[in-house]
Amino acid sequence: MEVLKKKYIVDSNNKRIAVQIPIDTFKQIEELLENHGLVQLMKTNEDQPLTLEEAKSYYDSLDKAK
């Protein structure tokens, strides 16, 4: 497993309040989460599971956090 390179951002009390990761790492994490979400959508109705295209279409219709 790859070591996650990260930098912590701390407040004036030296308490960790945020983390920075390389953009490529973030994109990999984002893709993994989206793929996991698509698989979960496909499994939602086990009697009639969604096809990959149906799951992608449904996912695209959802409101995304900005």
pLDDT at 16: 97
pLDDT surpassing 80 at residue 65: no
Residues 6+ apart with CB under 8 A from 10: 16, 17
pTM: 0.57
What is the percent of the chain with per-residue pLDDT over 70, rounded to a whole number?
91
Cα distance between residue 65 and residue 56, in whole Å: 17
Q: What is the pLDDT of residues 33-51, one digit of tens each?
A: 988 988 887 777 667 777 8
Give how far Cα 65 sits from Cα of 44, 49, 62, Å.
22, 26, 10
Can you say how many angstroms the Cα of residue 56 is from the centroid of all Cα atoms in its chain? 15
